[in-house]
Structure 1
Amino acid sequence: MSERFSASYLIETSQSLEKAVQTMAGEQSTGTFVKIPGETGELMEKYAAKIEELEELETVDQPALPHAKKGTPIRRARVKLSWPVENIGPNLPNLMATVAGNLFELAPFSGLKLLDIRLPDSFESVYPGPGFGIGGTYKKIGISDRPIIGTIIKPSVGLDAALTAKQVSTLIDAGLDFIKDDELMGDPTYNRFTERVDACMKVINNYADKHGKKPMYAFNLSGTMDEMKKRHDYLLEKGGTCIMINLIWVGLSGIQEMAGHTQLPIHGHRNGWGIFQRHPLLGIEYPAMAKMWRLAGVDHLHCNGIRNKFCETDDSVFASIKDCLTPIWSDQDRAMPVLSSGQWAGQAFDTYKGIQSTTLMYLAGGGIMGHPGGIAAGVESLRYAWQAAMEGLDEQAARERYKVVDEAFEFFG
């Protein structure tokens, strides 16, 4: 029997569920809106999408999306469709065109969300996952038993190369493990990529020579394929240890191409993710898209953080972190979860309670640089908060033990 891949969905429709789901299956495989010559039973049996599961949920009074077809009752359901692998071959863009694609425009649906994707084991030999992943990232930074503590260069735009390097020097002297460009910082005229690499890597390399440990800096090289490869090669020559890609805008094929070229970990920034995830009845949930990014070769994936400055709920953040840490096939294809967005020492306790893991990057901007004791105290407050959480201390006990944690609560809390 042919190998199959599958996708699960949450749908909403005023049409009969069976008819609506048959429309989904037909649109994304062999069918169109009428039966046509060539659509034989043999062809359908071999290549058509199949409805594997259909579970009716609640009915609602109003459609989730405007301009939906009128009708009652409006039903919601969970659906699982499957397709033969022969339809797409080992091709991630074609896979996404099949499991998502035109589904979102289909008139019968006032809500449709791709929840997850399941792939056959044959994909593992083609897509082994991140080249460095969790283990390779820890090895490059030189730690293994705690969260990687990091920050983002701010202001996000406006600094020239010299001012950026000055900030980097201050931050790594304060004890940070990891620094990244903001996603907005690319190759502006006042801070060219090569100039920023020259200035910052000089500071980082000098620090490494002196201390025997090299903090990781993820430089944003997002651009055309030629630009990204040239920037990667330049960074590698200067001793860099990480590249950053704006995942949604570079796209799956661009990520795959860079994963095949890079000799450095890929820090994947998901800016724009709200387009796909924010509406509860439209778009794509994180497990589906994160799986594609991991298979394409991304080593670090942003997940937001709890009590963040955005709209995402804590439960959604926890689910994203756990998804990154859950193998598709093996530990090698896991990605390093990256927590950020309004984080400071106070969230460490509930984060640890929620995921029971310290395998993550914990990035704080204001939570470090806004600490009343200064930047080094901000770094210490995060490290000690995580240490206390790992030891089973609650917030009050941690505040009593560590002055910098107490100061963080007084200021941020």
Structure 2
Amino acid sequence: MAMVHAAVTAPPSHLPHAISNSDSFTHHRRLLLFLNSCTCMSQLKQLHAQTIRTTSSHHPNTFFLYSRILHFSSLHDLRYAFRVFHQIENPNSFMWNALIRACARSTDRKQHAIALYHRMLEQGSVMQDKHTFPFVLKACAYLFALSEGEQIHAQILKLGFDSDVYINNSLVHFYATCDRLDFAKGVFDRMSERSLVSWNVVIDAFVRFGEFDAALNLFGEMQKFFEPDGYTIQSIANACAELALQLFHRMPKRDVTSWNSMILGFSTMARWRPHWNILVAWAAGIFDVMVTEYKIKPELEHYGCLVDLLARAGLIDEALDVVSNMPMRPDLVIWRSLLDACCKQNAGVELSEEMASRVLEAEGVFVAVFMCCCPEYMPQLAGGTMLGWLGN
């Protein structure tokens, strides 16, 4: 056992010496252990060369070694992975799938995923399995290859994979991406088993097509079976935001309350939505239109909503610019929003102290400051100017 451990921890350059006197079984085992601990392509190439020199292509374990070499190279060097693949006689489904998956995930070789799939069909030596189709359908969706995807769908039905939930999720996504919402919904409706991903994919498809009422109905039905996750909420938030914008634009008269509600809505959504840059753009656009086109004078609440949105998005400097240009004095809520953002965004202690000072000047209550401050700032604030403020 110690000899095996020494071989595994040895640098790749020491590999030939480590395995020169090993028997066949130990030899393949050590090569496999080296492959499993491989961290870069230079190591893999050494191991590949060693495999070619010291193993027999007819040994059953050699085939598995090549599958590991192909899998690693497909994740790190797709061109080299093709070279390895072409050296393998009669590759199995795992090898085909590894290369198809790598092409589907690449930025410039997605069409090769479809070509490999067709080669796999033409050769006929290996049957496609449930792992083959999600990868190639992903490539078809990206390339908007509707005809190829429909042929793949026919093959899925022929092989009896139409009840596989992962394949059906990929089909729903593929048809929705190719602007065939009716086909996507048809696949979803026929699914005998649905996962949370299934619901998320079809809800997102309806939202992207502007079918917001249908998306909300699906959301309500989904909650009978699953708790929504972040992806679900993001899609539903998009639907609600779009519906709110449609209603807002149809209003014959917009007062201060309606404008404030829109800005506040986007500010609230920024608490959990990852695409905060979109929210910032929308809210800032609404604020500008309110001032420039409708000549409505912003009140403190409008500025507070905009500052809160910028602060939550981590745009503290932009939020401070808004505060600096406000025609009225900021209130406690605005300063606390900035202080909270400084703590959560790991801003400098000096800036956090400045925000804390503003909170105290605005309200004179120090409990809120300590509640807002992150733990890592407590020693600095408690040992610095904070004690001076509290002493006063």
Taking structure 1 as the reference length, the TM-score comes to 0.25
Larger helix proportion, structure 1 or 2? 2
> Rg bigger for which structure?
2
More strand, by proportion? 1
Q: Higher relative contact order at CA 8 Å, sep ≥6: structure 1 or structure 2?
A: 1
TM-score, normalisation: structure 2: 0.26
